[in-house]
Amino acid sequence: MERIAEANSVVVIGLGRFGGALALELAAAGTEVLGIDMNEDVVQSFNGRLTHVVRADSTKEEALRQLSVHEFERAVVGIGSDLEASILTTSSLLRFKKPTIWAKAVSAAHGQILEQLGVEHVVRPEEDMGRRVAHLVRGAMLDYIEFEDGFAMVKTRPPKEALNKPLGMTGIRAKHHITVVAVKRRNSEWDYTTPQTVLNEDDEIIVAGATLAAERFAALI
């Protein structure tokens, strides 16, 4: 197999719903992707869609070495249905020391084990999506991203107090402890805001700030 362990390459181990979607998204963005899965049917379904896709037992360290996985800078473990396979695969990657690892966790216990092993990036897709959708259902937000340190970015519409005057004159930042960082006009592209930006009722905006502050601001519309 041609070696693809370059700087702009990622190995994705486990091509289920999460790993498969992630691998295809990376490939669409121009990233070279080595996909690995135990299921031959799954491997065949990705043939020609990723840079390379192979059937291999990722719990075997030697199999990963033969595929030059130890030379990759980034690795994603998308295995969720087999806890033992996830842990053994991740342990092998950690022994390689080189790849930065993202590993999927399907439960709190699974995530805790991965963190105790030393995985820097533990991904909890179902839990994270559940929290995100809950925020969208609960408020007036159009989209929502929360970071680990209690900071969030929210897509919403401007409240009345932010309309028809320059942002720098609204006092919003001091009053609500958030920053309006970008605006999208109707039939236009996203653009950064400035203190001189004037918002209209049908604009979409992106607000950044502490999670609760951003949520409260979005609820003003």
pLDDT digits (tens, 9 = 90+) for 158-170: 999 999 999 999 9
pLDDT for 142 equals: 87
Cβ proximity of 12 and 36 under 8 Å: yes
How many percent of the chain have pLDDT more than 90? 74
**The whole model's pTM is what?**
0.72
- Which residues in the chain belong to E strands, given as ranges? 9-13, 32-37, 52-55, 74-77, 100-104, 121-123, 143-146, 151-156, 178-184, 190-192, 204-210
Residue 189: which pLDDT band, with cuts at 50, 70 and 90? very high
Query: What does the alpha-carbon distance between residue 20 and residue 123 come to, in Å, rounded to a whole number?
Result: 15
Has residue 3 got a pLDDT over 70? Answer: no
